[in-house]
Amino acid sequence: MIAKTIREYAAKKLGTEVSKDYAYDLLHRHGWRKIEPSPRHPRSDSETQEEFKKNFPRWWHPPFEPLRRKTHAR
């Protein structure tokens, strides 16, 4: 909603219509960014997700990397 408000204000101030991109470019230029929570899927089941979190193994093994021989410069 902020971009819409800025777009309307800029149009009034400039005396001409401005595009939606103009408002987003203005926000980007001043370092604003859109921060909002991730959307939830309409068929997601929070109980199943919590059960999964409780029963998920807490250990993790990093990928195996074979040991490399150190080569000495001669």
Q: What is the per-residue pLDDT for 73?
A: 66
**18 neighbors 11 (Cβ within 8 angstroms):** yes
Residue 54 domain flag: no
Residue 74 domain flag: no
Label residue 1 by pLDDT band (50, 70, 90).
Answer: low
pLDDT digits (tens, 9 = 90+) for 30-45: 988 777 777 888 899 9
Percent of the chain with pLDDT over 90: 31
- How many domains is the chain partitioned into structurally? 1
**10 neighbors 18 (Cβ within 8 angstroms):** yes
Residue 63 domain flag: no
- 0.85 exceeded by pTM: no
Q: Region of 17 please: left (phi>0), alpha (psi -120 to 50) or beta.
A: beta
Residue 53 domain flag: no
Label residue 9 by pLDDT band (50, 70, 90).
Answer: very high
Range(s) of the domain holding residue 9: 1-31
Residue 18 domain flag: yes
Residue 36 domain flag: no
